[in-house]
Structure 1
């Protein structure tokens, strides 16, 4: 999981350089690591990583809420939206 999330955590650290470590279950939205302005950029990053457009009409904010959710929803070999 860590290797697949490396580009995601790198992007998050670039946007929020004061963050030391991001636990897999930390709520990225509630803790304002991903805010409303960066949310579309976050989606574009994930689209680049999976190599296609994401079906926005089939997605829920919970797919983006934690690193674990991002991995399970988009980056794992068995991801629902891969």
Structure 2
């Protein structure tokens, strides 16, 4: 899973330089690693990674909570 999520981890660390290891089940939203200001930027990153546009009407915030849920919903190929 690490290879698929590495660009996400890099983005999170760039925005949160004090963050250490990010476990697969760590809540990225509750911990504020992804906040409301950065959410749209994060969506754009994810769209670049998956090669398609996401429909904002169909986005469920729970799909963005953890690296595992991101992998399960967007990064499995």
State the TM bucket, normalised to the shorter chain.
over 0.9
Q: TM-score, normalised by structure 1?
A: 0.91
Two-structure CA RMSD over aligned residues (Å): 0.6
Q: What residue ranges of structure 2 are gaps of 5+ in the alignment?
A: none
1:11 and 1:50 mapped to 2: Cα distance?
15
Which structure is richer in relative contact order (CA contacts within 8 A, separation 6 or more)?
Answer: 2
Q: TM-score, normalised by structure 2?
A: 0.96
Instruction: Look up the match of 1:21.
Output: 21
1:43 and 1:50 mapped to 2: Cα distance?
11
Matches within 5 A, 1:24-35: 24-35=24-35
Matches within 5 A, 1:1-82: 1-77=1-77
